[in-house]
Homo-oligomer: A and B are copies of this chain.
Amino acid sequence: MAENNGKTSALVGVDLGGTKILAGAFDSSLRLRGTAKLSTKAQRGPEDVIQRIARCVQDAVDEADLSLKDVRGVGLGVPGTVDGETGSVIFAPNLDWHEVPLQKQLEKLLGLPVFVENDCNSAALGVYVTELKSKPRHMLGIFVGTGIGAGLIVDGELYSGFGHAAGEIGHMVLEVDGPKCGCGNRGCFEALASRTAMFQQIKTAIKEGQKTVLTEMLKDLDEMRSGDLRKALRRGDKLVERVVEEAAQYMGVAVANLVNILNPQVVVLGGGVMEALADEMLGIVVEVAQDYAMAGAMEGVEIVTSLLGDNAGITGGAVLAKRMTK
CB–CB B168/A294 < 8 A: yes
CB of A163 within 8 Å of the partner chain:
yes
CB of A257 within 8 Å of the partner chain:
yes
CB–CB A136/B154 < 8 A: no
CB–CB B138/A262 < 8 A: no
CB–CB B297/A260 < 8 A: no
Contacts of A315 in B (CB 8 A): none
Report if A263-B165 is in contact (Cβ < 8 Å); known contacts: A173-B257, A174-B173, A253-B173: yes
A263 and B162 alpha carbons, distance in the complex (Å) = 6
What is the count of identical protomers in the complex? 2
CB–CB A166/B294 < 8 A: no
Which chain A residues in 245-303 approach chain B with CB under 8 Å?
250, 253, 256-258, 260-265, 291-294, 296-297, 299-301
Choose from B136, B137, B162, B293 the contact partner of A301 (Cβ within 8 Å): B162
- CB pairs A–B below 8 angstroms (27 shown): A80-B296, A81-B296, A136-B162, A137-B162, A138-B161, A150-B261, A154-B159, A161-B263, A161-B297, A162-B265, A163-B263, A163-B297, A166-B261, A167-B261, A167-B263, A168-B261, A168-B263, A168-B294, A168-B297, A171-B256, A171-B292, A172-B260, A173-B292, A174-B176, A175-B187, A176-B250, A261-B262
Interface residues of A (CB under 8 A from B): 80-81, 90-91, 136-138, 150, 154, 159-169, 171-178, 183, 185, 187, 250, 253, 256-258, 260-265, 291-294, 296-297, 299-301
Find the B residue at minimum CB distance from A81.
B296
* Shortest Cβ gap from A118 to chain B (Å): 10
Find the B residue at minimum CB distance from A261.
B169
* Shortest Cβ gap from A110 to chain B (Å): 28
Contacts of A293 in B (CB 8 A): 171
Find the B residue at minimum CB distance from A249.
B176
* Shortest Cβ gap from A172 to chain B (Å): 5
CB–CB A91/B173 < 8 A: no
* Shortest Cβ gap from A87 to chain B (Å): 17
A80 and B296 alpha carbons, distance in the complex (Å) = 9
